[in-house]
Amino acid sequence: MREFVVEADGGSRGNPGPAGYGAAVSDAATGETLAEAAEFIGVATNNVAEYRGLIAGLRAAHALDPEARVAVRMDSKLVVEQMSGRWKIKHPDMKPLATEARSVFPPGRVTYEWIPRERNKHADRLANEAMDAGAKGEAWTP
């Protein structure tokens, strides 16, 4: 069974403000980057952008191998704790995003780990590229 690492990040310049996300999928054994995703999503909160990054990363991993196991690493404590089931999801905007993220892979095939921002540079760079492109009225391109 293949194993992937998904690093995801989202950001908002204003919270809410112009927002975007970035996600990278790598092979857990080799560290090779297999897929990247990023998008400017308009005006949103930081937490919405974080969840959108998670969903994009999980979908990219699923497209590579729907049978894989996935280790998600994010610097959003909120998303990691909510998706791990340790924190309740109280905000109504977060519930459908969490449900969507959980629907990509069957339960038990995805683990979540909080990492410091300094260890999430790839996804952070992609999110910022997407927000920069959106500020110019352009779409992010790899």
CATH number for the domain that contains residue 122: 3.30.420.10
Per-run averaged pLDDT (10 residues), the chain, 142 residues: 97 95 98 98 97 98 98 98 96 95 96 97 97 94 86
The reported pLDDT for the residue numbered 142 is 83
Whether residue 140 lies inside any domain: the answer is no
Domain hosting residue 27, numbered range:
3-135
Whether residue 66 lies inside any domain: the answer is yes
Whether residue 36 lies inside any domain: the answer is yes
Q: How many domains does the chain have?
A: 1
Task: Please tell me the distance from the alpha carbon of residue 27 to that of residue 83, in angstroms, as a whole number.
Answer: 22
State the helix-helix crossing angle for 46-64 and 121-135, rounded to 10 degrees: 110
For the chain, give the number of residues.
Answer: 142
Whether 40 contacts 130, CB under 8 Å:
yes
Q: DSSP class of residue 21?
A: E
C-alpha pair distances (Å), 11 with each of 1, 31, 56, 85: 32, 24, 14, 23
